[in-house]
Amino acid sequence: MKITPKTYQAFQETLSLNQPPQDWPEALSALWHDAKGDWEASHDIAQDIHTDMGSWIHAYLHRKEGDKWNAGYWYRQAGKPFPDYSFGEELKALVEANL
């Protein structure tokens, strides 16, 4: 039985778990790890997702890391403009795009 959340609020409620549910898509799991403060685990997953979504997550992570050049590359790969909003707003947008 899938327990993929239906809303951003439901996603946030899963952050009390020790691990994301195993049946979640990789992109959502990567975002879960970032939301828990584990940039490395999130990046490890995102760099192996060879889709526009994987590129967007990868871009967000490098922007958050402070590597604007690398982030810009990945935003271009994802077909997304470099954002001018907060990390929290982008995380929410990414999560909602994966629900």
Predicted local confidence at residue 4, as pLDDT: 84
The residue among 38, 45, 80, 40 whose CA lies nearest residue 59 is 80
Q: What are the sequence ranges of the domains in the chain?
A: 25-97
Tokens describing residue 65: 């890391």
pLDDT single digits (tens) 16-53: 999 999 999 999 999 999 999 999 999 999 999 999 99
pTM value is 0.95
Using only C-alpha atoms, the chain has a radius of gyration, in whole angstroms, of: 13
pLDDT of residue 1: 45
